[in-house]
């Protein structure tokens, strides 16, 4: 079962680009990489998902190197409302979806 490692916390300022990296050294061939955002007292919300290379949607980009042992969530021009906990989740090969500890992103004015 793929285990993930993320920084516990990160600080940023409004308008900056934020990159959060997740390590998943034992990712399985069939596993996808998914990132979630969680605000206090709410359930996590899907942000972006990818398998390899780069994926971009309206809120974020996801960069995955060729060996897939890590991934980087990129949030362009963050705002105060992006303050939240961000989780990367590796799964797909099994039905057991286990979250890591997450990264608390604090955006300051």
- Applying CB under 8 A, the residues found at the interface with another protein are 30, 32, 34, 36, 41-46, 49, 51, 87, 89, 91-93, 95-102
Least spacing, CB of residue 40 vs another protein, in Å = 9
Distance CA(58)–CA(42), nearest Å, equals 22
Q: Which is nearer to another protein, 96 or 109 (CB)?
A: 96
Contacts with 57 (C-beta within 8 Å, 6 or more apart), sequence order: 47, 48
Distance CA(84)–CA(104), nearest Å, equals 6
Q: Which is nearer to another protein, 102 or 107 (CB)?
A: 102
Least spacing, CB of residue 80 vs another protein, in Å = 21
Picking from 101, 84, 80, 109, the residue whose alpha carbon sits closest to that of residue 10 is 84
Q: Which is nearer to another protein, 16 or 30 (CB)?
A: 30
Least spacing, CB of residue 18 vs another protein, in Å = 20
Q: ∠ CA 23-108-104 to the nearest 5 degrees?
A: 30
Least spacing, CB of residue 84 vs another protein, in Å = 13
Helices (H), the chain: none
Q: Which is nearer to another protein, 95 or 109 (CB)?
A: 95
Q: Which two tokens stand for residue 32?
A: 């996808």
């Amino acid at each position: 079962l793929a285990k993930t490692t993320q920084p516990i916390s990160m600080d940023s300022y409004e308008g900056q680009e934020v990159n959060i990296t997740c390590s998943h050294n034992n990712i399985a061939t069939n596993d996808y990489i998914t990132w979630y955002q969680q605000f206090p007292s709410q359930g996590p919300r899907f942000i972006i998902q990818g398998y390899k290379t780069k994926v971009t949607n309206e809120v974020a980009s996801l960069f995955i190197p060729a060996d897939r042992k890590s991934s980087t969530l990129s949030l362009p021009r963050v705002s105060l409302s992006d303050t939240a906990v961000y989780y990367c989740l590796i799964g797909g090969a099994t039905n057991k979806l286990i979250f890591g500890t997450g990264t608390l992103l604090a955006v300051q004015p």
